[in-house]
C-alpha cells in the first residue's frame, strides 16, 4: 500500500524544512495569514505572499515532463479518471525585500492518487501502474503567476489523510535550481461528504483523518485548500510567495 513513511516519521520538520529551503535558495517570508474567505474570493493571478511549510515529496513523484492543464486522462489507456471535479489554481509570487510580485515562468507539478487511492506510473505492493500517467502533469505560471489544473477530488489509502502533492521549480531542466515541494489538504467534513459518492464508495470509509496524519501535523493547517462550489465539483485558489536566492 502507498506510504509516505508516516510510521517511521521520516517526514521533514518545520525547522528542517526552513533549513533546506535556505540552503537550496528558496525561503518563505511570513507576512501574516490571508483569511481563507478572502483567499477563495481572490482573483487568479493576484499576488499574495503567504507562508507555507515545505513537506516531503513522498515516494510517488515521477518527472513525467507532461505539460497539460487537465490531468484526469490517461493517454496510454484512453480513459479519464472518474471523481468529483476539482479546479485547482496556484498563484505563485516572488518576494524581494518588502515587495511581492507575480512569478512568471515557474513550473508547477501536481500529482495525486485516484478515487481508489492508486497513483499512476509506479510499482507498489498494492498495484502496478507503470506506463500510465493519470493525475499527473505540470503547468508554467503565466505573467500573473497563475497555473491552473483540472483534476478530481482525491481518494484515500492506508496511512495517510487525503492530499495532493505539488512541486514548484524555477529552473526545472537545470542541474541546480530553486525548488519547493509540499502537499495540499482538505477539510475533513467535506472529504467525508465527497466520499459518500461514487466512485469513492467502492473504497469504503477512510482510516486516517487530518488530526492523526503525521505529515499533516507538521504544518498541514497552513496547506488546507479553501474550496468553493464550482459546477458539479469544487474550485480552489492556493497562493504562495517564494523568496528566491
pLDDT confidence of residue 228: 97
Residue with cell 492523526: 212
Q: How far apart are CA 37 and CA 41, in angstroms?
A: 6
pLDDT in tens, 26-67: 433 333 333 332 333 334 434 467 869 999 999 999 999 999
Dihedral over Cα of 179, 227, 150, 130: its sign: positive
Domain ranges of the chain: 14-244
pLDDT in tens, 97-147: 888 899 999 999 999 999 999 999 999 999 999 999 999 999 999 999 999
Q: How far apart are CA 105 and CA 107, in angstroms?
A: 7
DSSP character at residue 43? P
**Residue 54, C-alpha cell as written in the block:** 515545505
pLDDT band at 174 (very low <50, low <70, confident <90, very high): low
Asked if 182 and 52 count as a contact pair (C-beta separation under 8 A), the reply is yes
pLDDT band at 96 (very low <50, low <70, confident <90, very high): confident
Of 240, 239, 228, 189, the closest CA to residue 86 belongs to 228
Beta bridge partners of 243: 27
- Sequence-distant (6+) residues with CB within 8 A of 35 are none
Q: Which CATH superfamily is domain 14-244 in?
A: Aromatic compound dioxygenase (2.60.130.10)
- Per DSSP bridges, beta strands 227-230 and 233-244 are antiparallel
Dihedral over Cα of 118, 122, 127, 133: its sign: positive
**Three-state secondary structure call for residue 233:** strand
Amino acid at each position: 500500500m502507498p506510504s509516505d513513511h508516516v510510521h517511521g516519521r521520516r517526514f521533514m520538520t518545520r525547522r528542517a524544512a526552513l533549513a533546506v529551503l535556505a540552503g537550496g535558495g528558496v525561503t518563505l517570508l511570513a507576512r501574516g495569514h490571508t483569511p481563507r474567505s478572502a483567499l477563495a474570493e481572490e482573483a487568479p493571478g493576484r499576488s499574495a505572499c503567504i507562508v507555507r511549510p515545505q513537506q516531503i515529496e513522498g515516494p510517488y513523484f515521477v518527472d513525467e515532463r507532461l505539460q497539460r492543464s487537465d490531468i484526469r486522462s490517461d493517454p496510454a489507456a484512453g480513459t479519464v479518471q472518474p471523481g468529483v471535479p476539482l479546479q485547482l489554481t496556484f498563484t505563485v509570487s516572488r518576494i524581494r525585500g518588502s515587495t511581492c510580485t507575480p512569478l512568471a515562468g515557474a513550473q508547477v507539478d501536481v500529482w495525486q492518487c485516484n478515487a481508489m487511492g492508486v497513483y499512476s506510473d509506479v510499482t507498489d505492493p498494492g498495484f502496478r501502474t507503470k506506463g500510465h500517467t493519470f493525475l499527473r502533469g505540470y503547468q508554467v505560471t503565466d505573467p500573473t503567476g497563475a497555473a491552473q489544473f483540472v483534476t478530481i477530488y482525491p481518494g484515500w489509502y492506508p496511512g495517510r489523510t487525503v492530499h495532493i502533492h505539488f512541486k514548484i521549480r524555477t529552473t526545472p531542466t537545470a542541474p541546480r535550481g530553486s525548488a519547493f515541494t509540499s502537499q495540499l489538504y482538505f477539510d475533513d467534513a467535506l472529504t467525508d461528504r465527497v466520499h459518500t459518492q461514487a466512485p469513492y464508495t467502492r473504497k469504503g470509509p477512510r482510516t486516517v483523518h487530518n488530526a492523526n496524519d503525521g505529515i499533516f501535523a507538521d504544518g498541514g493547517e497552513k496547506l488546507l485548500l479553501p474550496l468553493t462550489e464550482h459546477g458539479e465539483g469544487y474550485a480552489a485558489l492556493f497562493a504562495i510567495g517564494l523568496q528566491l536566492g
